Structure formats: C-alpha cells, structure tokens
Chain A
Amino acid sequence: MAVSTHAPVADKRLLPPSKSLIGLIRPDTSTGLVDWLTTVDHKKIGIMYGGFALFFFLLGGIEALLIRLQLMYPGGTVVSAQTYNQLFTMHGTTMVFLAVMPLNAAFFNFVMPLQIGARDVAFPRLNALGLWAFVAGALILNLSWLFQWAQVFGWFTPVSGQMDIVPAIGWFGYAPITGKNYSGIGTDFWIFGLQVLGVASLVGSFNFITTIINMRAPGMTMMRLPLFTWMTLITSFLIIFAFPAITIALVELMFDRFFGTNFYHVEMGGQPILWQHLFWIFGHPEVYILILPTMGIVSEILPTFARKPLFGYPMVVFSGAVIGFLGFAVWSHHMFTTGLGVVATAAFSLLTMAIAVPTGVKILNWIGTLWGGHIRFSVPMVFALGFIWMFMMGGFSGIMHSAAPADAQQQDSYFVVAHFHYVLIGGALLAILGGLYFWVPKIFGRMMSEKVGYIAASAIIIGFNVAFFPMHYLGLTGMPRRTHTYLAGFGWETWNFVATIGAFVLGIGVLMVIIDLIRTVASGKPCGSDPWDARTLEWSLPSPVPAYNFAHNPVIPGRDAWWLHKYGKKPEQEIEYEKTGPEGIHMPSQSWWPLVSSVGLLVVGVAMALHSAGVPYCGYVAIGGLGLSVVSFFLWALEGPGGYHLTPPDDGDEPQKVLASYTPEPSQKLELTH
C-alpha cells in the first residue's frame, strides 16, 4: 500500500496532509463546511439525513396544508385544478421518499452502529453517497417547482403542449397518464428523481446489511441485537428486494417517453396494468419499509420507560421478518378494483388478512411489555403510546380493506386516505418524533424541552385525529380522493371544514417540535450520557458521541447489554472492553467523490427533464453529468482506502471498566492496524 501510515494522533486536525493514490489531498483535516460535505462519519451523515429530511418534511407539510385549504369549502379556489394535482403528487412523493424514509435512515445511520458496538458502518464512503444521492434526488423532484414558477412568469416554456412542469400524476404514477400524451415534463423530473432516490436507498441498505452482519461487537449475537437494529436489517432487505421492481418500471417508462418504446402504450400493444403490478410489488413492501423501522423505535422506547425487557423478543423479531416476507405477497390488494378475477382477488384478500396477524403480535407484545412494568411518562413515551393507539386504528381500517368486496366501496375514497394517514402519521410519524425526543440527548448531548414536548404531542395527536378521523366518514359517504374540489350538497362540507382545522393544529404541533429541536441544538440544556436510564449500548457512550464511538471495543454480555451492565447482579453481566493498543483507533478517510458523483446525478436528472422540454443542448449536459458521475466513481475507486489512527483519551471519560488482563486476538490486532 502506498498510503503512508500515520502515527496515531489525538485529534484529526493534527494529522499531516496526506495524498491519496491519485495525488489529491484527502480532506481529513478539514473543518467546518468542508468537513460536513466530505464526512464519512455515520453520525454526521445521520444528522444531515435528519436535517434534510425535516426540511422536506416541512415542505410536504406545507403542500398538505394547501391541499386542506383548497378542500375547506366546496368549490374551493385557493389553487387551480392543475396546481392541486401537483400538490398532492408532490405531497405523497415527498412524504414517502423525502421525509419518512430518510428520517428512518437518519436513525439507522446514527443509532444502529452504536447499538451493535461498531465504530462506523462497513462502507463509510458509500454511506456518504447514500446521503448525497438522496439530496440529489430530492432536488431533482423539487427543482420542478422553480421551473413551474419560471413558466408562470413566462421565462420558460416547454415545447410540448403539456404545461405541468411539476409532476401531476399522483405518487403512484399510473400508466398511461404518465405517457407523453397526458402529462408534461413533470413526469420526467419524477422519473429521474425517483431513480436517483432509489440509488440512495439501495447503497444505504447494502451498507446497513453488511454492517449488521459483519461488524457486531464480540458477543453481540443476532438474537441479542436491539430491536431497532433488527428492524433496520429487515427494512434494508425489503429495500434491496423491492426497489429493483420500481427501477425497472421507471426505466420502461423513461424508454416510453424518450425513445418511443411501447411498454405502456395500449395502442401499440402495451399494457398499462403492467405498471400497476410493478409499482405495487415495490409499493407495498415500501409501506413496511416506512413502518418497520418505526416499530423498532417503539420497541426501544417502551422497555426503557417500563423498565422491563421487551415482552416476547424472539416473537417480535420473527413477526417483523414475517411481515417482511408477506409484504411481497399482498401487492394486488391495491388493485382489487382492476378486475383481477375471483381467484387472484380471493388469494390476495386472504394474504392481506394474514399479514394482520404478525402486526397484531407486535401490538400485543408491546402491551405485554408494559404489563407489570413501572411506567414513567416522558415525551418519547407519550409518542410511543400514541403510536400504538393510532397504528392500531389504522390497522383496523386495513382489515376492512382486506375484505375485497367491501374494499370496492373504499378504494380510492377518503376512507383510504384516512387509513394510510393513520398508519403513516399516527404510526410512522409519531414513532419518529418519539425517536427524536428519545435520541436527541444522545445525538447532541442536550435535552429537548419537556413542556414544549408535551404540548406539541397533544397538538399533534388531537389535531391529527380531528383531521383524519372524519375522513373515514367522508370516504364511506362517497367522496373520492385526488379530487381538487367537490360540489356542495353531498354532505361533505362540515367534515372537510373540520379536517382542515385539525390539519392546522397538527401542523402547529409539528412546527413546535422542529423549532424546539433547533433551539435545543443551539442552546439546549446539556444532559448526561444516559438521561432515560436506557437499555442498549449507545447509552453507554458519552453524549455527544466521539468520532470513534467506542474507545475500546465492548464485549457484549447479553441482550439489553447496558441495562445488564447497570443492574445485573452477576459479574459476567457486565460489559467488558478490549483495550485499544498503542496503534490507536483506525478511522476512515474523508472523500469528495460521494458528493461530486451525486452532483453528476443531479445534473443528469434535471438536464434530461429539460431536454424533454425542448431546451437546447440539454442532452449533452445530461451526458456530461453522467460522465461526471462515472469519472468520480472511478476516482473514488482509485483514491485508495486511506485511513488514519486516533488515540483514545487516556482516562476515557466513558463510564466503562477496561480489563487490564485482556489481550486482543491476533486477527483483531491485524484489523486494528489495517
């Protein structure tokens, strides 16, 4: 290896500048903005994932509030029909791909390596690519708004007759409405945005799987993994199996739009129904990609505040896996009204009912966890309990949908809107906010305001129910979804009005959380390393967590290792540590290439959409962008593994006991010296 081996230093800023194999200086000693842009630290990447996701979450929330304002009264004129269709398309796409998924990814990134006793993820640079590709995909999607405004001001006009520059096809993009005859370049922004987001999700998932399989601390067997890590693993598998389906569907759609193929063109023998199958064989596992991590979060919060282990841990893990498997066998329940025939409909109907069983197991086990516990109330706990309650209600309407003939009345009505918002706001969002309150003390070493937290939690839970419970009624009395307005006299006026009020209360609650989060990061009250008296390994580390996570590798005595360490009666229940040698802790080098290659992907996406709009030379720009990505991937491969060594502080302000007699195995020595 041509890379020089540094002597270990206490701080990376003390490192001498080192050249990579291609002769460029690696930005290891950088600080400030450059440090963040080139970082490979899973904690910083997790924080940035969270920051970007919260920004897009606010954007999606604003879109939602505009939707609710438009529907407040019959015949609403807040926005035009086309703008409304763009709003609900972008709201759905944003909330699924740019808010909930990356918020989950933020927790995966930050928490999972700490929970398994690892010093970073398996492929640190790939992790950075995951982040920046996500940002690139999100920008491709949302830059369409800028072009739409430019069109309003007359600065930009696509040559085709279709004027929707922001996608207006629904987040599901059913063919043939995505064809060139029916939609404008918004669809192209959407195709490329989702493709790039798919890259981000896939590299992240491969990384997490490798990390969990290979980088667990000694003694951390699979059945000792914290539940959140288990759900990370299952979710990552779901992503790598589900995303290829939508990738193929999107490639076919792109070929239809750019190169004149006929995958979805009926008049040339194509089949629009093909899109639905491909989309939902991705789309239904996607639902579990959104919800399984949040089940993991709740499974961490409840035992902590009940001061009891999770009830039926193997059953909860196993039911998560079963949900993952069955998630691939129920996609056609999104298509009960497409005329699949008796046999297929019956099969998917029964399979959908079957998936209620492992989901129910989780709820029952959470109640079992609380049973006999010593329940302390806190903001994370309020969110977690709210999650169980709201998710359960979303599950009930899910069971109603599983009865296919009854679903014929519910499909594409506001009843479905109510259902999946109960699962995704009442479920995913409440758990994510609970996770935020739970882990922010670990991430930033500061406590969020409890008072603001309680008020915000009440506003969110009450506002959410006021907004979405009436939608069950609206749907059953015949209000279809994705309609930009409705006529007076159908009995929908009162509850649409009420729903809008509720949506704003919900919005205020979310805003309170985000403002308090910003305040906490800037000037929150510092807290100890384990403010909740929690159970898993991340709470054994100081807050904020040092760059190398564990000064000495922990040896895990059992499930809920930190809890055992604190309260175990026997000496073998204490966490032991493998003392780090004088060679120090090996750290990965930072790199520009994940960021640069993502910029290339961003250029490809925007340029292809503009090419479709007839802007000259955009095809060449797209090729240039692709070239930039390819070149940076090559340089990435050529710059070499790099790496440097840090010495942990002598005393180790970690609350841990180092066994002086411990000598590392030869193989581990090798690993440390790289």
Chain B
Amino acid sequence: MMLVSTLKRCFVRAFLAGLSFFLLLCVSGCSFKTKQSSLDPKGPIALAQYDLFMVTVWVTLFIFVTVGGALLWVVWRFRQRPDDDDDHMPNQSHGNPLVEVGLIVASILLLVIIAVPTLRVLVYTFELPEDEGSKLGQWYQGPLTEEDAETILTVNVMGYQWWWAFEYPQLGITTANELVIPEGKVVKLNLRSADVIHSFWLPKIAGKVDLIPGRANWMWIKADEPGHYYGQCAEFCGSAHAYMLFRSDVLSHRDFEAWVEYQKKDAPEALEVSVAAGERLFAEKTCIQCHTIRGNQYAMGIKGPDLTHVASRKSLAAGIMDNRGVDGRIDRLKQRENLFEWIKNSQHIKPGNLMYHDDAGLKTVPLSDDDVHKIVAYLQTLN
C-alpha cells in the first residue's frame, strides 16, 4: 500500500513537472513572427486571410469554452461517488425536442458569424482588384490607386520538379527561385506547371494556389513592406518536394526599377582566362543544353533555370542553400562554396533532380574538382 501511494505521488509529480515544462515551452517556443509564418501577414491578402482565421478562432474558442465546460461539468457533477448505491437508477429521460432544436439554431447562428466574412474575403482574394466583379472586395480593403489599377505587373510562375521559374513578360526578363516584386503594387501571378502539380505558397504575402498542368490558374498578391520573404511548394510533387523552396525580395520602387534595368542586361563576356575556361567547360560538359545565359550564344537550354544573373541571387538550388552573409547581403565566398557543393554533389543535395542527367535520368557527366572550380568561377561572374 505504501509503495502504491508513493508511486502515485511520483506519477502526479512527474505529470505536473511535464505539464509545467510543456507550458514553459509554449511560452518560449511559440513565436508567431518566424520566417515563413502565416500569422505575421505583410500583405493585404495574407492580412485578410489572417483576420478571417482569427474570426474562426474566436468563434470556435467560444464553443470550446461553453461545450467543453459543459462536458467537464456534467462528468464531474453526475459522476458516481464512492458512497453511491451501485444500482441507483437515474431519471430515464431520453430527449427534449425544445433543447435539441434550440441548440441546432444556436450552432447555425454561430456559423453565420463565420460565413459572412468568409464570402467577403473569398471575393476579395479571388478577383483581381481591377475587375468589375470584385467591387465587394474593393469595398472591403478600400479601392486601389489609379496607378495600380492601370499597370498591373504580371509574372508567369512556372513550376518544375523541383524549382521555380519567374518570367516577367512585360519586362522581358526571367529569373529562377527568387521572385522580385515592388512594394505596394498589385502583382498578378500566372501559375503554370511543366510536369506535376505544385503549389505556390508565400505565407506572409498570400495563401497558396496550385500550379496544375493543363489549368490556367492565377492569383494576385501585394506586399506592404520591403523585405526578404520565404515561400515553399506546398503540394507533394515527388521525391525532392521538401527542397522546392523559393524566396521573394520585395523592393522599394526605386530599387525595383534599378533591379529591372540590371536584369535586362546580358551576361558579361568572359575576359579572364580562368573564366573563359569555365565558360568553355560550361559548353563542353553539356550544361548549355539545359540552361540559358543571355550573352552566351551557346547556352540556350530551357530545361533548367535561367542563369543569366545567377550570381545576383541570394540563394541556390531552389532556396535550400543560402548565399547571404550575416549582414543579409551576398557573401561571395559562401556563394562559391555553395556553387561548388551544388555542382559537385547535386544528386546528394537534392536526390532525383535532373542536373547533368540525360532524359532518362540515368547517365551522369563526369566532372573533376578542377572543372567544377572553373565553372564556378565563370558562374560567379554572372552577377
């Protein structure tokens, strides 16, 4: 008996210790402002979705407290007590239509509280703000400025296994895995897939929309403040789905203009000897079959990412490898290491990707460390 009570006490203590540790974790481990958090909206769409989510949270919290409280109270109040008669027969009531119908009506009313803002946000997020049909949406967030309504920047988002191409048809430039947009302007994204289904998810700016082969999906986004945002493919798309990340740079108007001008330029000619050697290897080792580098007349492949300004990107391999130093700017040394690692071991880093594989995905091209260094030197000039 002694032992049992001691054990019981130990168990209760362990339980309380565990619980307090858990609560401590809840307080310390729960930041809502993490890199990819949907709870830290930085654009009107994410904000509208967040506000709607909070409506559902408050309504369900209310139901939780009342219904859960009722359940706890009932179980406590009507429990069999040790001195109760085992054969006690409670009142055999089997229902009360008034109570039942009343509760149904109450739950319908609670759902209406959610339904109304749902429809409002639905129209707002699904219709481009310039559309006639989205008057309701405009009323919700206020009308767009004239300038916005006239010139909507369009980006064609193309999903591949397992990377992203971002094409700016109005500007004639193409980048990969880094979506650069101006702050405070509506951007229309045309979402297309080259192979399987992907899903574009940039939590701080907008919830996801799928890229489905054979379907012309689109979405509009707007970012309120400049910054570096994190996104990810959200639909299972094959073995390296976890490595299909992307970044988004939101720039001020002036920076965006400068970026566009810069991206429009072709890649510089390879002047240095070592760089020229890299350029030659880039052609010899069949890299040109898949990659485009504007300014390099041989590199016109379209299967892989456009590398015209690859060295100006802050990440590598669809956002897995970060090229930035502690100050948030590109660290050339880190970039060189990343490029080397990626070209040398791309199958190890992202299993199943098509880098220097033939169509069947079987044959590889042999590359010595020296070759890789030369190619990296060439690629680093493409900034």
Residue pair B208, A411 in contact (C-beta under 8 Å): yes
Taking the closest CB of chain B, its distance from the CB of A269, in whole angstroms, is: 8
A375 to B89, CA, bound (A): 11
Which residue of A82, A312, A370 contacts B74 across the interface (Cβ within 8 Å)?
A370
Report B179-218 CB contacts with A as 1/0, cut-off 8 Å.
0000000000001000111010101001111101111011
User: A474-505: contact bitstring with B at CB < 8 Å (1 yes, 0 no)?
Assistant: 00111111111111011110110010000000
Task: With both chains docked as a complex, state the minimum distance between the C-beta of B136 and any C-beta of chain A, in angstroms.
Answer: 10
Contact of A371 among B78, B107, B240 (CB under 8 A): B78
A374 to chain B: closest residue by CB: B90
Q: Is the CB of B80 within 8 A of A356?
A: no
Do A412 and B199 touch (CB < 8 A)? yes
Q: A82-B352, A370-B71, A402-B114 are in contact. List 7 more A-B contacts (CB 8 A).
A: A81-B239, A177-B238, A353-B115, A368-B99, A389-B71, A477-B37, A482-B236
Q: Is there contact, CB below 8 Å, between B78 and A306?
A: yes
Q: Which of B123-165 contact A (CB under 8 A)?
A: 123-127, 133, 161
State whether A182 touches B78 (Cβ < 8 A): no
Report if B64 contacts A (CB, 8 A): yes
B103 on interface, CB distance cutoff 8 Å: yes
Say whether B126 contacts A342, CB under 8 Å: yes
Contact of B214 with A309 in the complex, beta carbons under 8 Å:
no
Chain B, Cβ-Cβ closest to A176: B196
Query: Known: A375-B75, A478-B230. Contact between A176 and B213, CB under 8 A?
Result: yes
Per-residue CB proximity of A286-322 to B under 8 Å, as 1/0?
Answer: 0000000000000000000011111111110000000
Q: Are B53 and A400 in contact (CB under 8 A)?
A: yes
B57 and A400 within 8 A (CB): yes
Are B196 and A377 in contact, with the CB atoms below 8 A?
A: no
> Is B63 a contact partner of A396 (Cβ separation < 8 A)?
yes
Q: Check: B283 CB closer than 8 A to any chain A CB.
A: no
B64 touches A478 (CB 8 A): no
Does B118 touch A at the CB level, under 8 Å? yes
Q: Say whether A370 contacts B78, CB under 8 Å.
A: yes
- In the complex, whether A273 has a CB less than 8 A from a CB of chain B is yes
Total contacts A-B at CB 8 Å: 299
Are A476's CB and B78's CB within 8 A? Answer: no
| B197 and A174 within 8 A (CB) | yes
The proximity string for B residues 102-121 relative to A, scoring 1 for CB distances below 8 Å and 0 otherwise, is: 01100110010011011101
List of A residues within 8 angstroms of B34 by Cβ:
477-478, 490-492
Separation in Å of the B47 CB from the closest CB of chain A? 11
Determine if B217 and A567 form an interchain contact, defined as CB atoms under 8 angstroms apart.
no
- Give the contacting residue for B35; candidates A377, A484, A491; CB below 8 A: A491
Verify if B232 is at the interface (C-beta below 8 Å from A): yes
Is B370 close to A, CB under 8 A? Answer: no
* Beta-carbon contacts under 8 Å, B65-118 to A: 67-68, 70-71, 74-75, 78-80, 84, 88-97, 99-100, 103-104, 107-108, 111, 114-115, 117-118
Which residues of A are found within 8 Å of B64, using beta-carbon distances? 392-393, 396
Q: Does A405 contact B (CB under 8 A)?
A: yes
A672 in the interface (beta carbon within 8 A): no
B38 within 8 A of A: yes
A310 to B320 Cα, complex, angstroms: 56
9 A-B contact pairs sorted by A residue (CB < 8 Å): A309-B93, A338-B212, A339-B209, A339-B212, A346-B118, A349-B119, A377-B80, A400-B56, A477-B32
Tell me the residues in window 332-371 of chain A with beta carbons closer than 8 Å to chain B beta carbons.
Answer: 337-339, 341-342, 345-346, 349-350, 353-354, 356-357, 360-361, 363-365, 367-368, 370-371
A residues within 8 A CB of B22? 466, 498
Residues of B within 8 A of A (CB): 22, 25, 29-32, 34-39, 46, 48-50, 52-53, 55-57, 59-60, 63-64, 67-68, 70-71, 74-75, 78-80, 84, 88-97, 99-100, 103-104, 107-108, 111, 114-115, 117-119, 121-127, 133, 161, 191, 195-197, 199, 201, 203, 206-210, 212-215, 217-218, 230, 232-242, 245, 320, 351-352, 360-362
A25 within 8 A of B: no
Question: Using Cβ atoms and an 8 Å threshold, which residues of chain B touch A408?
Answer: 49, 125, 206-209
- Once bound together, how far apart are the Cα atoms of A260 and B114, in whole Å? 47
Known contacts A312-B100, A490-B35: A349-B118 contact under CB 8 Å: yes
Instruction: State which of B67, B88, B201 has its C-beta within 8 Å of the C-beta of A363.
Output: B67
Listed from nearest, the 5 A-B pairs whose CB atoms lie closest are A408-B207, A478-B36, A491-B34, A483-B242, A339-B217
Q: Answer yes or no: A161 CB below 8 A from chain B CBs.
A: yes
Q: How far is the CA of A492 from the CA of B241 in the complex (A)?
A: 18
B75 CB → nearest A CB, Å: 6
A491 to B230, CA, bound (A): 13
Interface string of A371-411 (1 = CB under 8 A from B): 11111110000000100110011001001101111111111
The CA of A314 and the CA of B104, in the complex, are separated in Å by 14
In the complex, are the beta carbons of A480 and B234 less than 8 A apart?
Answer: yes
Q: How far is the CB of B36 from chain A (nearest CB, A)?
A: 3
Q: Given the interface contacts A81-B240, A477-B32, A494-B25, does A370 sit within 8 Å of B199 by beta carbon?
A: no
Given A392-B67, A403-B114, A408-B206 in contact, is the A476-B38 Cβ separation under 8 Å? yes
User: Is the Cβ of A373 less than 8 Å from the Cβ of B78?
Assistant: yes
Q: In the complex, which residues of chain A have a beta carbon less than 8 angstroms from the beta carbon of B30?
A: 473
User: How many Å lie between the Cα of A271 and that of B117 in the bound state?
Assistant: 33
B68 and A353 form a contact (CB under 8 A): no
Contact A405 B56 (CB under 8 A): no
Specify the chain B residue showing the minimal Cβ separation from A371.
B74
Please state if B208 and A357 are interface contacts (CB–CB under 8 Å).
Answer: no
A346 neighbours in B (Cβ, 8 Å): 118-119, 122
**Judging by beta carbons under 8 Å apart, are B209 and A337 in contact?**
yes
Given A81-B240, A82-B352, A315-B95, the answer on whether A405 and B84 have CB atoms closer than 8 Å is: no
Are B210's CB and A376's CB within 8 A? no
Which of B29, B49, B84, B117 contacts A374 (CB under 8 A)? B84
Known: A339-B215, A483-B241, A567-B89. A476 touches B71 (CB 8 A): no
Q: Which residues of A contact B114 (CB under 8 A)?
A: 353, 399, 402-403
Do A80 and B122 touch (CB < 8 A)?
Answer: no
Would A406 and B100 be within 8 Å (CB), given that A177-B236, A389-B71 are in contact?
A: no
Q: How far is the CB of A306 from chain B (nearest CB, A)?
A: 7
- Please tell me the size bucket of the interface on A: 35 or more
Closest B residue to A178 by beta carbon equals B196
Residues B92 and A392 in contact, CB atoms below 8 Å apart: no
User: Would you call A272 an interface residue if the criterion is a C-beta within 8 Å of the partner chain's C-beta atoms?
Assistant: yes
Interface residues of A in 440-483 (CB under 8 A from B): 466, 473, 476-483
Which residue of B60, B93, B237 contacts A399 across the interface (Cβ within 8 Å)? Answer: B60
Q: Which of A245-297 contact B (CB under 8 A)?
A: 266, 270-273
Q: Are A313 and B94 in contact (CB under 8 A)?
A: yes
Q: Of B32, B103, B127, which is within 8 A of A342 by CB? A: B127
Cβ–Cβ < 8 Å partners of B32 in chain A: 476-477
Q: Across the interface, name the chain B residue whose C-beta is closest to A161.
A: B360
Residue A239 lies at the interface, judged by CB distance under 8 Å to chain B: no
User: Which chain B positions have C-beta within 8 A of A495?
Assistant: 29
Asked if A413 is at the interface (CB within 8 A of a chain B CB), the reply is yes
In chain B, what residue has the closest Cβ to A483? B242
| Residue A168 interfacial (CB < 8 Å) | yes
Across-interface contacts of B36 in A (CB, < 8 A) = 477-479, 490
**Within 8 Å of chain B (Cβ to Cβ): is A170?**
yes
CB-defined contacts of A307 to chain B, threshold 8 Å = 88-90
CA distance A492 to B242 in the complex (A): 14
How distant is the Cα of A396 from the Cα of B64 in the complex, in angstroms?
A: 8
A144 within 8 A of partner (CB)? no
- Kindly list chain B residues whose C-beta atoms are within 8 Å of the C-beta of A229: none
A9 to chain B, nearest CB (A): 42
Task: Find out whether the CB atom of B242 lies under 8 angstroms from the CB atom of A405.
Answer: no
Asked if A177 and B70 make an inter-chain contact with CB atoms under 8 angstroms apart, the answer reads no
Q: Are B210 and A370 in contact (CB under 8 A)?
A: no
Contact between chains at B218 and A339 (CB < 8 Å): yes
Q: Hey, which chain B residues are within 8 Å of A356, CB to CB?
A: 107, 111
Tell me if A177 and B210 are in contact (CB < 8 A): no
Query: Are B90's CB and A480's CB within 8 A?
Result: no
Question: How distant is B129 from chain A, measured CB to nearest CB, in Å?
Answer: 14
When distances are taken between beta carbons in the complex, the residues of chain A under 8 Å from B191 are: 339
- Say whether A540 faces chain B, with CB atoms less than 8 Å apart: no
A481 / chain B contacts, CB cutoff of 8 Å: 236
